[in-house]
Amino acid sequence: MRLSLTRRHLGQAVLGAGTLAAPGLRAQSWPSRPIRLVVPFPPGGGVDAVGRILAEPLGAALGQPVVVENRAGAGGAIGVDSVAKAVPDGHTLAMVSPGNMTAGPVVRATPYDPEALGFVTMVARSPLLLVCRNSLPAPDLAAFVALVKRQPDAIRFASGGVGTGTHLAGELMNLRLGVRMVHVPYRGTAPALTDLIANNVDIFFSDASAWPMAQQGQLRLLAVSSAARWPTSPDTPPVGSVVPDFDVSNWYGMVAPPGTPGPIRDRIAAEVARILAGEAAATPLRRLGFEPVAMTPAAFAAHVRAETATWRGVVQAANIRVE
């Protein structure tokens, strides 16, 4: 369940923050030092950008600096695992995404249990962009679906790696259409887009980083993966308008170590909600193609559980294995 940034929801979040003074927690003692925000990917990517947009205003709201620390490796698992093992005192947080919370962990084992982490809030989300090479003989989504049904084995779909959200979105399309496109995995979004532009693969469910390339005419945007239209390109149809029961989003959120007190997580969620309600954070997020989203910790946890169940079904039906 998503909570929009209405006055009522912000009020609920503020009420949650007020519980910081509950027995066993001293509001005056937290935070007592800088807060570490672990980004489990290298600098320059979407997760890193969103984390840095939040860090300064969140630090100002909490009265201590929020310091971004990039700890990349293993599809984000190394950085998230470092947070899972940190002291649960509210001074360590992580930025997370489907690749290290829902899609990835159902394909390969992680050293942490995603559902045991201390959920804080979702921060931003966007659809995946179904983009194709310019030379593909499919001018729009309906023509592409017709092409896939005629020649499923001839269509090569790229991904950012086995088990990533970009991979599972392609497999979900296979299942919904009853076809078998050929999966071509890459080591991340950038090389997949490079090969798509070079006509070495046919389609890719990219994150929003493909949008400038579509605007420049380097590739063609066929559809967005979300059920609703994308405000950044409102004329682009959702995949679900042609492919039954298809609704996928890319999102970034914030978690804490297991056992981090609920009142601390509520306080952080409330401050993030306030920040996202202002244009200072919302404008750069929208410029990246993301919609600001605020959730309570409970709502974020429910979202992760539901999405994990969806991807588990896709992985089992498609018999996906990590080589």
**Residues 17-60 pLDDT 10s:** 444 444 444 445 899 999 999 999 888 777 888 999 999 999 99
Burial class (CB in 10 A: 0-12, 13-18, 19+), 215: exposed
Looking up tokens 């979300």 gives: 226
Q: Quick one: pLDDT at residue 10?
A: 41
Query: What are the chain's domains?
Result: 7-125+250-318 (3.40.190.150), 129-241 (3.40.190.10)
Check pLDDT > 60 for residue 9: no
Kindly state the DSSP code that residue 320 receives in the 8-state scheme.
-
Closest of 304, 289, 183, 194 to residue 254, by C-alpha:
304
The 10s digit of each residue's pLDDT in 236-269 is 999 999 998 899 988 999 999 999 999 999 999 9
82 neighbors 255 (Cβ within 8 angstroms): no
Q: What is the pLDDT of residue 323?
A: 57
CA separation for the pair 60, 231 (Å, rounded) = 30
Least Cα distance to 105 among 292, 317, 244, 307 occurs for 307
Helices (H) and strands (E) in the chain, counts: 12, 11
Q: What's the Cα-to-Cα distance from 23 to each of 19, 80, 158, 263, rounded to whole Å?
A: 9, 30, 52, 11
Average pLDDT score over residue span 226-243:
92
For residues 275 and 258, give the distance between their C-alpha atoms in angstroms, rounded to a whole number.
Answer: 25
**Which pLDDT tens digit goes with each residue over 268-314?**
999 999 999 999 999 999 888 889 999 999 999 999 999 999 889 88
pTM, full prediction:
0.78
- Share of residues in the chain with pLDDT > 90 (%): 65
The distance from CA 313 to its chain's CA centroid, rounded to whole angstroms, is: 19
Share of the chain above pLDDT 70, in %: 91
Nearest to 307 by CA among 188, 206, 226: 226
- The torsion angles phi and psi of 178, rounded to 5 degrees, stand at 70, 35
The whole-number pLDDT of residue 252 equals 94
